[in-house]
Amino acid sequence: MHIRIGTRSSRLAVWQAEHIQSLLQAGGLTSELVLIETKGDLVLDRSLAKIGSKGVFTQELEDQLRTGAIDIAVHSAKDLPSNLPSDLHIIAFTEREPANDVLVSRNKNLSLTSGESFRIGTSSTRRVAMLKHYCPHITTVDMRGNLQTRLRKLDEDQCDALLLAYAGVHRMGYDDLIVERLPLAEFTPAVAQGSIAVEVATSLSGEVNEEIIRLVNHTPTEACLRAERAFLARLEGGCSIPSFALAQWTEEKTISLTGGLVSLDGRELIRDTFAGAPEESPLIGHSLAEAILARGGDVLLQDIRAHL
């Protein structure tokens, strides 16, 4: 069985596709990478919120799944829209890396807790809004592009630090540049941050499906991410909305899901926690979303949509 793996061509995307490739290899499945450019890679002069449509990093890969040019598409799970078309689905999530954001800089003395003012490069509405909420002394500089491009901008002094997902920084081998790990309880990450997802067309044969799931899927991560993605789906939000959610396994083998919304100006932040059995993870996500909407999240969302 030979698998054609579709991936974006950024270094992080290729690393992730090669990671899936090695998991398949361990089970005796050979594979090759097919590099595909997406709108998110090509349009670099506008923020993701402005490009607007969900799936800016995924659409072209999904087109190739449909034509059968590739068998599976590998994505950062975070980049996948919460509502997939009915002819496509995610069959596997890799074991999640630590999900937190990290501060990356050449200056080891920088810290968000110092109260000192400095410039952080980020294009994420969630990170900008959370910084306004927790660290109003920080200024943000809009910064798109892949990890290498952002590091170059850091070195060109366009900002003093970057705020990034630990997972991507670690995968690229930049751990040495991490000057601070942000606490999950405050800087709760984006839905699905830290895991890699395998997406396929529903037409892919059952046998291949089963084998890929067996070799790649991490069941606890999957239960957590299905809860988080159900939360995001209920809010009808893509990665451009400043929402956040993190599900964790508890010692009692239940799932505890914390998540919410933050206003673009950072003034309002709504957060709540729901727990339940892993089999009910979509329900947990849905309940959390309902609670957030009922506590003022509905008005907040309207306001966010009007300003993006």
Ligand X SMILES: NCc1[nH]cc(CCC(=O)O)c1CC(=O)O
Under rule CB under 6 A, which residues in 22-81 are in contact with ligand X? 76, 78-79
- Is position 106 annotated as part of the catalytic site? no
List 8, 54, 71, 78, catalytic entry: 78
Under rule CB under 6 A, which residues in 175-194 are in contact with ligand X? 193-194
**Residue 102 binds ligand X, judged by CB under 6 A:** no
Q: Which is nearer to ligand X, 90 or 275 (CB)?
A: 90
- Is position 127 annotated as part of the catalytic site? yes
* Distance of closest approach, residue 68 Cβ to ligand X, in angstroms: 26
Q: What is the rounded CA–CA span in Å between residue 144 and residue 45?
A: 8
* Distance of closest approach, residue 225 Cβ to ligand X, in angstroms: 11
Tell me the H-state helices in the chain: 11-26, 39-42, 48-51, 59-67, 125-134, 147-155, 166-171, 206-216, 219-235, 281-292, 298-307
Tell me which residue of 228, 264, 128, 108 sits closest to 187, measured CA to CA.
128
- Is position 152 annotated as part of the catalytic site? no
Under rule CB under 6 A, which residues in 74-93 are in contact with ligand X? 76, 78-79
List 127, 132, 229, 234, catalytic entry: 127
- Is position 78 annotated as part of the catalytic site? yes
Q: Which is nearer to ligand X, 164 or 241 (CB)?
A: 164
Q: What is the rounded CA–CA span in Å between residue 238 and residue 58?
A: 12
Size of the site for ligand X (CB under 6 A): 9
Q: Which is nearer to ligand X, 194 or 285 (CB)?
A: 194
Sheet holding 255-262, edge to edge: 243-249, 255-262, 269-276
Cα distances from 156 to residues 1, 106, 121, 150, 180, in angstroms, run 47, 11, 12, 10, 21
Under rule CB under 6 A, which residues in 148-167 are in contact with ligand X? 164-165, 167
**Residue 281 binds ligand X, judged by CB under 6 A:** no
**Residue 126 binds ligand X, judged by CB under 6 A:** no
Q: What is the rounded CA–CA span in Å between residue 21 and residue 30?
A: 8
Question: For residue 94, which amino acid is it?
Answer: T
Q: What is the rounded CA–CA span in Å between residue 69 and residue 60?
A: 11
Q: Which is nearer to ligand X, 164 or 292 (CB)?
A: 164
- Is position 126 annotated as part of the catalytic site? yes
Q: Which is nearer to ligand X, 165 or 275 (CB)?
A: 165
* Distance of closest approach, residue 75 Cβ to ligand X, in angstroms: 8
List 54, 96, 144, 234, catalytic entry: 144
Q: What angle do CA 250, 255, 260 make, to 5 degrees?
A: 115
Q: Which is nearer to ligand X, 194 or 276 (CB)?
A: 194
Which H, E and C letters describe 45-93, residue by residue?
Answer: CCCHHHHCCCCCCCHHHHHHHHHCCCCEEEEEHHHCCCCCCCCEEEEEE
**Residue 228 binds ligand X, judged by CB under 6 A:** no
Strand 255-262 to 269-276 pairing: antiparallel
Handedness of CA 93, 97, 99, 102 (dihedral sign): negative
3-state DSSP call for residue 135?
A: coil
Q: What is the rounded CA–CA span in Å between residue 68 and residue 205?
A: 12
List 126, 132, 226, 229, catalytic entry: 126
* Distance of closest approach, residue 99 Cβ to ligand X, in angstroms: 8
List 8, 54, 132, 150, catalytic entry: 150
Which residues contact ligand X (rule: CB under 6 A)? 76, 78-79, 164-165, 167-168, 193-194
Q: Which residues are catalytic?
A: 78-79, 126-127, 144, 150, 239
